[in-house]
């Protein structure tokens, strides 16, 4: 299981969120303050995640041209909060795991690739239980995607 740690914890710089697997840092995520964007460090690769238009979240390697896209999540239905994901061109179905808990399941056909969750009490953090075949790069993108959707829902509730 992967989980987002607390900013600046586990030996990462201040303002950087560690991605943990069994308590060990496997990646880092540095989210932009005012935009839906982030930079992720996964092994020796640096990823750029950002919003593209109003209904799409994308990811690319930092050294690639700005228009290239390797990872994509786009809104299928704004009103029903339904999304579709593509991970390196492979379509992934996104379904609601629990409306009450705000979790999602990511499937490729009949195979469950990942399931989101939360851990902690008042300061809960996102978790992602993944299939052994899901690359860490893709899992980090899905964790960022989950955090963006949660931020959007919190902003809508506050409005």
Task: Please report the pLDDT score of residue 90 as a whole number.
Answer: 95
Which segment of 19-23, 38-42, 83-87, 149-153 scores lowest on mean pLDDT? 149-153
Which segment of 15-24, 48-57, 115-124, 130-139 scores lowest on mean pLDDT? 115-124
Average pLDDT over residues 140-153: 90
Cα–Cα distance, 153 to 130 (Å, whole number): 24
Q: What is the pLDDT of residues 58-84, one digit of tens each?
A: 999 999 998 899 999 998 876 667 889
Q: What is the pLDDT of residues 92-125, one digit of tens each?
A: 999 988 777 778 999 999 999 999 998 877 777 8
Burial track 5-15 (b if 16+ CB lie within 10 A, e otherwise): beeeeeebeee
| Residue listed under structure tokens 């795991």 | 97
Cα–Cα distance, 6 to 15 (Å, whole number): 9
DSSP structure class, residue 5: -
Average pLDDT over residues 34-54: 93
Which residue range(s) make up the domain with 46? 2-158
On whether the CB atoms of residues 124 and 115 are closer than 8 A, the answer is: no
On whether the CB atoms of residues 19 and 10 are closer than 8 A, the answer is: no
Total count of domains within the chain:
1
Average pLDDT over residues 140-148: 94
For residue 35, pLDDT beyond 90? no
Q: Is pTM beyond 0.95 here?
A: no
Task: Please report the pLDDT score of residue 156 as a whole number.
Answer: 73
């Amino acid at each position: 299981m992967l989980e987002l740690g607390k900013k600046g914890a586990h030996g990462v710089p201040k303002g950087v969120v560690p991605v943990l697997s069994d308590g060990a840092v496997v990646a880092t995520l540095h989210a932009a303050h005012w935009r839906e964007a982030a930079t992720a460090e996964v092994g020796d690769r640096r990823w750029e995640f950002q919003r593209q238009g109003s209904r799409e979240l994308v990811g690319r390697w930092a050294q690639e041209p700005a228009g290239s896209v390797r990872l994509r999540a786009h809104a299928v239905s704004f009103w029903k909060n339904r999304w579709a994901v593509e991970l390196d061109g492979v379509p992934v179905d996104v379904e609601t795991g629990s409306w009450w808990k705000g979790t999602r399941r990511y499937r490729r056909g009949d195979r469950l690739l990942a399931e989101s969750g939360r851990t902690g009490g008042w300061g809960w953090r996102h978790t992602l239980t993944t299939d052994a075949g899901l690359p860490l790069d893709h899992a980090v993108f899905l964790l960022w995607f989950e955090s963006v959707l949660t931020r959007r829902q919190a902003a809508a509730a506050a409005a």
